[in-house]
């Protein structure tokens, strides 16, 4: 399925509602498609149309991942990526999208700190797989929900806990 498909696939696992993806894309149709796709997958999409707006958005939000177009009207994706890497105190995964076919663009993207480079038109399932692969792993706090987890993590604490079912 390519980027301009009309159906929205569903992922195997729903995305956490708090996961924010910053989309920096100047093409309004593709920006809308990406927004709909991401929202349909359970992500919160924050979309802007220029590199400058993307950098300004980083002052207001803390995205979990950035989808970044290479060819933007003001700053190109390389410059935006470099600026994100120099300003951010944590490493935000960046997936670059580009219609350019020049292999030197891929090398330049990797050199400036892009985590993944996808060529347009891209396969929607590939994009979603790259997003999932680059998002931080978030595990539920099992110790708060399961007495078995407490016992596994700290067997002595499980024996001291009056609410923990004791073996007969």
* pLDDT score, position 88: 77
* pLDDT score, position 114: 97
Looking at the DSSP bridge assignments, the partners of residue 46 are 22
> CA-to-CA distance for 38 and 131, rounded, in angstroms?
10
The domains located in the chain, with CATH, are 20-134 (3.40.50.2300), 140-168 (no CATH)
Are the C-beta atoms of residues 134 and 116 closer than 8 Å to each other? yes
Average pLDDT, the chain: 82
Residue 159: pLDDT band (50, 70, 90) is low
Residue ranges of alpha helices (H) inside 13-140 are 28-40, 51-60, 77-87, 103-112, 124-134
* pLDDT score, position 55: 97
* pLDDT score, position 11: 45
104 versus 6: the higher-pLDDT residue is 104
Residue 18: pLDDT band (50, 70, 90) is confident
Are the C-beta atoms of residues 46 and 55 closer than 8 Å to each other? no
pLDDT over 70 for what percent of the chain?
71
* pLDDT score, position 89: 82
For residue range 102-158, list pLDDT tens digits in order.
999 999 999 999 999 999 999 999 999 999 999 975 444 344 444 444 444 555 544
Q: Which residues contact residue 54 at a Cβ distance below 8 angstroms, ignoring those fewer than 6 apart?
A: 22, 24, 48, 66, 68, 80
* pLDDT score, position 134: 95
Are the C-beta atoms of residues 32 and 48 closer than 8 Å to each other? no
43-50: average pLDDT: 98
Contacts 24+ apart (CB under 8 A), 148-154: none
Angle subtended by helix axes 77-87 and 103-112, to nearest 10 = 10
80-101: average pLDDT: 93
Q: How many CB atoms lie within 10 A of CB 16?
A: 13
**Alpha-carbon torsion, ordered 42, 46, 49, 53, to 10 deg:** -160
């Amino acid at each position: 399925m390519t980027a301009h498909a009309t159906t929205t696939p569903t992922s195997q696992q729903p995305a956490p509602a708090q996961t924010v993806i910053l989309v920096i894309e100047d093409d309004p149709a593709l920006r809308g498609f990406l927004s709909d796709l991401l929202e349909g997958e359970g992500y919160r999409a924050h979309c802007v149309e220029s590199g400058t707006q993307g950098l300004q958005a980083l002052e207001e939000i803390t995205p979990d991942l950035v989808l970044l177009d290479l060819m933007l009207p003001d700053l190109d994706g390389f410059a935006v990526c470099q600026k994100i890497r120099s300003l951010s105190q944590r490493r935000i995964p960046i997936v670059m999208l580009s219609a350019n076919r020049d292999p030197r663009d891929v090398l330049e993207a990797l050199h400036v700190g892009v985590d993944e480079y996808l060529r347009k038109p891209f396969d929607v399932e590939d994009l979603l797989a790259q997003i999932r692969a680059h998002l931080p792993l978030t595990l539920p706090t099992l110790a708060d929900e399961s007495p078995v987890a407490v016992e596994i993590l700290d067997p002595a604490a499980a024996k001291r806990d009056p609410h923990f079912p004791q073996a007969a």
